[in-house]
Amino acid sequence: MITRRFAVLVAVGLPLPALLPAPWLAVAGVLAVALLLALIDLAVAGPLTGLRLRRDGDRTVWLGNGATSRLTVTNGGRRTVRLSLRDSWVPSAGAGPLQHALTLPPGAEQEVVTTLVPTRHGDRPAVRVTLRSRGPLGLAYRQRRRKWNEKVTPPWTLRVLPLFPSRRILPEKLARIRVLDGSAVTRGRGHGTEFDVLREYVIGDDVRSIDWRGSARHHDVVVRTWRPERDRRVFCVLDTGRTSAVRIGDVPRLDASIDAALLLSVLAARADDRVDLLALDTVVRARVAGGGHRTQLPRLIDALASLEPALAETDYSLLGRELLRRDRKRSLVVIFTALDIAPMIEGLLPLLPRLAARHKVVVAGVRDPAMARLATLPAEVSAADVHAAAAAERVLGQRDRLRDLLDRSGATVVDADADTFASKVADVYLLLKATGRL
Amino acid sequence: MTTTRRRRRWLRLAVPFVILFALVTGTLVVHAIAQPDPEDADYLSPVSDAGIGGGTLAARLRGEGVVVERVTSTVDALTALWTGGGSTLLVTTPGLVDTSQLSTFGRLPTGTRVVLVAPTRAALDRSDWPIEVHGDRWTATTAEPGCTDPTAAAAGPAAVRDLSYGGDCYDGALLTVAYGGAVVTVAGAADPFRNDRIGEHGNATLAEGLLSQAGRVVWLDVHEREEPPPPSSEPTPPTTPQQTTATGEASPGDGRPADPTDGPQEQPEQAAESPPNPLGQAFPPAFWATVVLLAAALLALAVAAARRLGTPVAEPLPSRVPALETLLGHARLYQRARARGASLAILRTAARRRLAVHLGLPPGAGIADIAEAAGLEEDGVRDILGSAVVPENDDELIAMAAAVQNLEREITANSAAAIFEGEQS
C-alpha cells in the first residue's frame, strides 16, 4: 500500500507537464517514477512475519486508577523493520497513545507502553495489535489483513475492579467493630453473646458480670468477658436482572449494590465472619463460597468486578435452591435488589417466608432521589408537574406497601439514597452483630 | 446468528432499490404498451375502424364535402399535391415520413396546408421547419384553447396537449408556422384524430377545423420508415420554381383564413452539425496533462488515507435503562387522558397517609382525625383533602394540588414548632 508521501511525490511532479515539451509523456514519466520508487520501497520494507509479540503488565486495576500494559516486539527477521504499531483495546479501556513508531534492527526487541485509564469496571480485553512495516523511503508499506493481526496479538485482559466509594466510611465502620470486639477503649467491656474468658475482677468492672461459681473455685473474684460471635455467615445476593440496569444518577443501580456488597464483605471479613456471594438473574452470574476468612476477599472483589446488568427478569427460584438446602447453616442473607413491586410479587415475596424461617433476611434497595424530587411540586407549577407528582406518589405508595409486605414476611428492609446506601446496609449488619442476632 | 445477520444485511440496502426499480420499470412498460404504435397499419389510417385508426375522421370530412385522398408515400403525396392545388397534407406519422423532403423550401405548392400529428423532436430536427419541441408530457391531456385562432376557438377544449411547441394555443400544443409558401400546423397529440377519442371534448371540431380549410385532404398514411431519396433530384423539384412563382400571387387570395395569431415565425437556420467542444481547444494539452496528474495525486492521497492502521474496535455496550421511564410515561398518560381527578386523588391519598404517620394516627385515619390532631378546622381540611369536586381545567388542578401540598407543609411545620416550643418550656 502507498502512503501519503507517494501522493506528495506525484504532486511534486505537477509542474513538469507545463515545463516539458511533451506533456502527456511527462505525466506518464512522473507516474512511472513514483510507482517504481514505491515498488522498490515495498520490496525493501522489512517482513512482518518475523515479528514476535509478547505482553505483560497490570492484570487488575481499581476503576479510576491508571494501569500500564507493556508490549514487547521482537524482530526475528533478517532485515530492519520500521514499524508503525497500534495497540487496540476496547474503547472503555481508555488506552493511549493510539500509535507507536519504532525501528527494529534484526534481532532487536523493543517495548511499547500503553497506559490504560478504564472507564467501566469488568474485564477489558486487548483486542488487536496492528502492525505496519514502512519502506525506507516512506512511500509504501506492508500491512497484513485484520485476521492475521488478530492471530499474532497476544491475548490479555485487564480486570477493572469496581469503584469503591464507600472506602471512605470503612475506617468508621471498622472502629465500631473494634468497639464491639472490646479491643478499643470504650465505656464497656466487649459486648457480645459469646463467652470469651474468665479473668480477675478489677475495680470498675460491671458487678453483674462477676462469675460467682468461678470465684468460688479460684478464691478470687473473677468476671466473665464476652465477645461478639464469630464465624457467622453472611450471604450477599446481588440481583443483576433488569431492575439493576436502571440508572440512578448516572450509574446503574447495580454499581450501588456492588459498592454496598463490597463494604459489607470487608466488614464481615474483618469481624471474622464468612462471606458468600451469589449474583443472579436468569442464571447464576457469580458465586463465591466457602474458603477461609480473609483469603477469599480478593476472590469476592474479583467476582463483583465482572458483574453486568442483564435485561432479563431475575429468577429467584435459583436463590431458593441455593439457600434452602438442608446443609445450609443459618446466615444473614442480604438481598441487593430494587424495591419495585411487580418483580417482587412475582419473584421474591413467595419465597421470603421460607427464607426468613431459616435465615435472617435483609432486603436492600437503592432509592432514586429523582423520584422524591418529582413527587414534590416545584415553585412554578404546571399541569404536567402535578401529573408527574401523582405518578411519583403512586410509585412511592406502592413501595411503602411493598416495605410493609416485606416486613410482615420477616425481612428487614433497607431503603436509602445512593450516597448513604452502603452505610445503611453496614449499620444493619453491625446492629445485628452487636445484639448477637446473626 | 451474526453471520446470517451479516449475510442478510445487504438486503436492507438492496430491497428498497429493487422495489423502486420494479415500480419504475413496470410503469414504463405499461406506458409503452398503452401508447399507440405508429408502425401499426391501423394507426390514424383513414380506412381503419380500429380504436387508433382515423376512419371516423375521414368519414366526417367526406360528409362535409372534403375530398379525402389516401396516399402511402411521400412521393405520391407530393404528386397528389402538385396535381390538385390548394390541398391540405395530413402527415399522421411524422416520425416515419421523410420530413426533410417535405420541408425543403419550395418543394410544396404554395398555399398548401400541412398538418403534422405529434411530430417528435427527431422528426422536426430532420425537417427544415422552424419548429422546436419545447416540452412533453407523460400522457395527452385536455387544454383550453387560450388563443384567438378561429379553429381552436371554435373547437374549445381538446385533448391535444402532449408535446408542446411553444405556441399560444392549447398551452403551446398547437402551433401554425408559414414556411416556404406552405402553412405548417403541428398538433401536440394524436388523440383528436383517433376513432376512440374523436368524440371527446372538442376533438372532432378541432380535427375537422384543421383539415377542412381546403377542399381536399391528402392523407399521408405511412407505417414504415421511409428512406431519404438518393441525392439525384426527382422529377418534381424542377417544376418547383415555376410553380412557386405561378401560385405565388394566387396564395393571398386563396381563401385562406386569417393569419394564425402566432404569425410566421422565421428563425435563423442553425448549423447542421454541432462544432467540436470549444472547451477542449481552449486550453493547451499541458493544462489537461497537469489536471490528469493532479487527479492522480488526489487519487493516491485518497487511497493512502483509506487504509487504516487497524479498524475501530466496537465496545460491548452495557445494558442501561433510563430511570423513571415508566413513571414519566404514566404522568404523560394522565395528562393525555386529562385524568385530573385521578391525579388529584392520588396526591390526596398520599398526603393523608403521610399526615397520619406524622401525627401518630393509625393507618387509615379519617380526615376528621387528622384535622383534630393537627388542631385545624375540619371543614377546611376536608375541602382540601376530601372534597368531591373534580377539577375542570388545569388551573383548578394546579391550585388544588398546591393547596394539598401547602396544607401538608403547614401541619408538619406547626407540629415541629410545637415540639420545639415544648422542649423550650
Domain ranges for chain B, please list them.
55-226+237-248, 328-424
Q: Do A389 and B285 touch (CB under 8 A)?
A: no
Predicted pLDDT at B264: 42
Bridge partners of A336?
A238, A364
- Cα–Cα distance for residue pair A308/B372, rounded to 1 Å: 53
Considering CB atoms only, which of B304, B321, B402 is closest to A246? B321
Q: Do A4 and B301 touch (CB under 8 A)?
A: yes
Considering CB atoms only, which of B297, B311, B328 is closest to A10? B297
**What is the average pLDDT value for chain A, to the nearest integer?**
88
Q: What is the pLDDT of residues A255-307, one digit of tens each?
A: 999 999 999 998 988 888 888 899 999 999 988 886 556 677 888 888 888 88
Predicted pLDDT at A21: 86
Q: Is the pLDDT of residue A237 over 90?
A: yes
Q: Is A308 on the interface with B (CB under 8 A)?
A: yes
- Cα–Cα distance for residue pair B391/B382, rounded to 1 Å: 16
Q: Do B289 and A30 touch (CB under 8 A)?
A: no
Q: Do B307 and A395 touch (CB under 8 A)?
A: no
Q: Among the ranges A32-41, A208-217, B118-127, B186-195, which has the highest mean pLDDT value? A: A32-41
Considering CB atoms only, which of B315, B327, B344 is closest to A371? B327
Bridging pattern class, strands B182-187 and A60-62: unpaired
Low-confidence ranges of chain B (pLDDT < 50): 1, 232-272, 425
Predicted pLDDT at B230: 61
User: Which chain A residues in 268-307 lie under 8 Å from chain B, judged by CB atoms?
Assistant: none
- Cα–Cα distance for residue pair B280/A379, rounded to 1 Å: 75
Chain A residues within 8 A of B398 when measuring between CB atoms: 381-383, 386
Instruction: Please spell the DSSP secondary structure of B257-312, one letter per residue.
Output: PSPPTT-----PPPPSSPPPPHHHHHS-HHHHHHHHHHHHHHHHHHHHHHS-SSPP
Predicted pLDDT at A193: 62
Bridging pattern class, strands B158-164 and B135-143: antiparallel
Q: What is the pLDDT of residues A165-189, one digit of tens each?
A: 888 898 998 888 887 776 544 444 4
Q: Nearest to residue B97, comparing CAs of B43, B148, B25?
A: B43
Bridge partners of A130?
A86
The chain B residue lying nearest A397, using CA atoms, is: B350
Helix (H) or strand (E) holding A251: strand A251-252
Predicted pLDDT at A53: 93
Q: Is A38 within 8 Å of A2 (Cβ atoms)?
A: yes
Mind telling me how many Å the CA of B14 is from chain A's nearest CA? 27
Q: Nearest to residue B86, comparing CAs of B175, B214, B242?
A: B214
**Averaged over A241-251, what is the pLDDT?**
86
Bridging pattern class, strands A67-75 and A95-96: unpaired
Considering CB atoms only, which of B296, B318, B346 is closest to A308? B318
Q: Do B310 and A382 touch (CB under 8 A)?
A: no
Q: Do A386 and B344 touch (CB under 8 A)?
A: yes
Q: What is the pLDDT of residues A110-164, one digit of tens each?
A: 999 999 999 888 889 999 999 999 999 999 999 999 899 999 999 999 999 988 8
Beta-carbon contacts of B54 under 8 Å, excluding residues fewer than 6 positions away, are B44, B45, B46, B48, B92, B193, B194, B195, B219
Neighbours of A81 (CB within 10 A): 25
Q: What is the pLDDT of residues B163-182, one digit of tens each?
A: 888 777 888 888 888 887 78
DSSP code for A140: B
Q: Do B401 and A310 touch (CB under 8 A)?
A: no
Chain centroid to Cα B206, Å, comes to 28
Cα distances from A222 to residues A195, A213, A215, A218, A308, in angstroms, run: 14, 9, 5, 8, 55
Q: What is the pLDDT of residues A398-418, one digit of tens each?
A: 998 999 999 998 899 999 988
**Averaged over A231-251, what is the pLDDT?**
88
Query: Any idea which residue has 415500480 for its cell?
Result: B23
CA atoms within 13 A on the CB side of B381: 20
Which grid cell is B196? 376512440
Chain B residues within 8 A of A246 when measuring between CB atoms: 321-323
Q: Do A310 and B311 touch (CB under 8 A)?
A: no
What b/e string do you get for B328-341 counting C-beta neighbours within 10 Å, with b at 16 or more? bebbeebbeeebbe
Q: Is B320 on the interface with A (CB under 8 A)?
A: yes
Cα distances from B193 to residues A328, B43, B62, B115, B120, in angstroms, run: 102, 10, 15, 11, 17
**Averaged over A420-433, what is the pLDDT?**
91
DSSP code for A241: S
- Cα–Cα distance for residue pair B302/B229, rounded to 1 Å: 57
Considering CB atoms only, which of B287, B304, B350 is closest to A7? B304
Helices B394-424 and A383-408, axial angle in degrees (round to 10) = 50
Mind telling me how many Å the CA of A397 is from chain B's nearest CA? 7
User: Which chain A residues in 121-180 lie under 8 Å from chain B, judged by CB atoms?
Assistant: 127-128, 130, 132, 143, 146, 149
Mind telling me how many Å the CA of A355 is from chain B's nearest CA? 28
Predicted pLDDT at A363: 94
Q: Do B293 and A310 touch (CB under 8 A)?
A: no
Q: Which amino acid is at B23?
A: L
Give the CA angle between residues B323, B326, B328 to the nearest 5°. Answer: 80
Q: Is A368 within 8 Å of A394 (Cβ atoms)?
A: no
The chain B residue lying nearest A83, using CA atoms, is: B309
Which grid cell is A366? 437503592
Query: Would you say the C-alpha torsion A96, A98, A103, A107 has a positive or negative sign?
Result: positive
Considering CB atoms only, which of A7, A23, A130 is closest to B289? A23
Chain centroid to Cα B284, Å, comes to 44
Predicted pLDDT at B257: 42
Helices A253-270 and A297-305, axial angle in degrees (round to 10) = 180
Q: Which amino acid is at B154?
A: A
- Cα–Cα distance for residue pair A16/B292, rounded to 1 Å: 12
- Cα–Cα distance for residue pair A301/A61, rounded to 1 Å: 11
- Cα–Cα distance for residue pair A274/B182, rounded to 1 Å: 116
Rg (CA), chain A: 33
Considering CB atoms only, which of B296, B310, B401 is closest to A31? B296
Neighbours of B299 (CB within 10 A): 12
Q: Is B406 on the interface with A (CB under 8 A)?
A: no
Q: What is the pLDDT of residues A316-338, one digit of tens each?
A: 999 988 888 877 888 899 999 99
Neighbours of B49 (CB within 10 A): 12
Which grid cell is A174? 471498622
Mind telling me how many Å the CA of A305 is from chain B's nearest CA? 14
Q: Give percent above pLDDT 70 in chain A.
A: 95
User: Which chain A residues in 39-78 lie under 8 Å from chain B, judged by CB atoms?
Assistant: none
Chain A residues within 8 A of B357 when measuring between CB atoms: none
- Cα–Cα distance for residue pair A355/A361, rounded to 1 Å: 7
- Cα–Cα distance for residue pair B13/B33, rounded to 1 Å: 31
Q: In residues, how long is chain A?
A: 438
Mind telling me how many Å the CA of A2 is from chain B's nearest CA? 6
- Cα–Cα distance for residue pair B220/A360, rounded to 1 Å: 109
Q: Do A17 and B293 touch (CB under 8 A)?
A: yes
Bridge partners of B117?
B187
Instruction: Please spell the DSSP secondary structure of A159-207, one letter per residue.
Output: EEEPP-GGGGGHHHHHHHHHHHHT-S--SSS---SEEEEEEE--TTS-G
- Cα–Cα distance for residue pair A98/B311, rounded to 1 Å: 12
Predicted pLDDT at B244: 40
User: Number of A:B CB contacts under 8 A?
Assistant: 179
- Cα–Cα distance for residue pair A258/A422, rounded to 1 Å: 9
Predicted pLDDT at B248: 40
In a mutational test of the A interface, the residue from B288, B294, B321 whose CB has the highest number of chain A CBs within 10 Å is B321
- Cα–Cα distance for residue pair B307/A84, rounded to 1 Å: 13
User: Which chain A residues in 309-338 lie under 8 Å from chain B, judged by CB atoms?
Assistant: 309-311
- Cα–Cα distance for residue pair B265/A252, rounded to 1 Å: 82
Q: Is B317 on the interface with A (CB under 8 A)?
A: no
Chain B residues within 8 A of A150 when measuring between CB atoms: none
Q: Do B293 and A14 touch (CB under 8 A)?
A: yes
Q: In residues, how long is chain B?
A: 425
Query: Would you say the C-alpha torsion B117, B123, B128, B134 has a positive or negative sign?
Result: positive
Chain A residues within 8 A of B287 when measuring between CB atoms: 18
Q: Is B114 within 8 Å of B183 (Cβ atoms)?
A: yes
DSSP code for B251: T
Which grid cell is B384? 382540601
Q: Do A252 and B320 touch (CB under 8 A)?
A: yes
